[in-house]
Amino acid sequence: MKIIQLSDTHISQLGGATAENLTKFITLINDIDPTLVVHSGDIAILDPDNRGDRAFAHELLQGIQAPLRVIPGNHDVGERPENAWAGLVVTPERLNAFTSTFGPDHWLELVGEWAVIGLNSEIMGSGLPEEHAQWVWLETVVAQVGDRPALVFTHKPVFNPYPQLTEHNIAIPEESRRRLLDVLAGVRLTGFGSGHLHEYAVSTQHIGDAEAVVVSAPATGFAHGGLGGPALAQLGIVEYLLGEGAQRGSVQPFFRNLATLTEVPPTDIAEFAAALEQLGVTL
């Protein structure tokens, strides 16, 4: 079985390079013909309050022929208050605007012999009622998943790849990570996929007595380095080949890209510069 993860599309209603790249990736995704597609957030270019960006991104994503599930990134709904980029803090109003356009911000898909769990990482550590509701819902997931192997998708990584403190929120809070693993202790966790870092990297993580694949998905909008180590700062999507039958539980991620993309720094993208100016942010 195949699942596709795309991430950090950063779509502006003005169009431009990020929209053109997404359109090309959608053609690739349809050619791959996966069972499920997961968008792991930062759908909109920068501003979670820009209704036009959301609407245009939603329109473009309708070109994906396979079932699509979406979770929000910090540029879609804001993030927890500590070190929030440009002061864009997650709020009930922003969450409602997102779900009104894209559907639930957390969900469970039982696909064949597998379970796929999507979580809103941006409310973790926020203290909002929506965070509490997600934790309550997550406690019901264990029984629904049963003995299926599970993939967990978030925007921010569950496991922080940086050993040092960073200026911005790179991963979910440590307390949230521990709570998440405790709640899902009865689930066979075989893989974690996230976005946010705009780089492709694959590692493994011990979960109890088992080992899970941990994937940092590349962006489709623009890349930027920072992870260090064996990370690829290049535009792309991730194709997951999930074992079935005797191979059930095996996860093989593959990096996929195209030769026809526009790969430039975000500061060279006119629509990105326009969004920064609208927010009053100087890099």
Q: Is the pLDDT score of 84 beyond 70?
A: yes
Single pTM value for the model? 0.97
Distance separating alpha carbons of residues 218 and 238, to the nearest angstrom: 8
Give me the mean pLDDT over the 111-140 stretch.
97
Least confident of 94-98, 223-227, 249-253, 267-271: 223-227
- Of residues 260 and 228, more confidence is placed in 260
Q: What is the CATH number of domain 2-279?
A: 3.60.21.10
Q: Is the pLDDT of residue 227 over 70?
A: no
Average of per-residue pLDDT across 69-76: 98
Phi and psi at 255, nearest 5°, equal: -80, 130
Mean pLDDT computed over every residue of the chain: 95
- Average pLDDT, integer, range 228-253: 92
Q: How far is CA 2 from CA 38, 110, 138, 202, in A?
A: 11, 14, 25, 17
Span 22-38, mean pLDDT?
98
> What are the extents of the domains in the chain?
2-279
Residues 74/228, Cβ–Cβ less than 8 Å: no
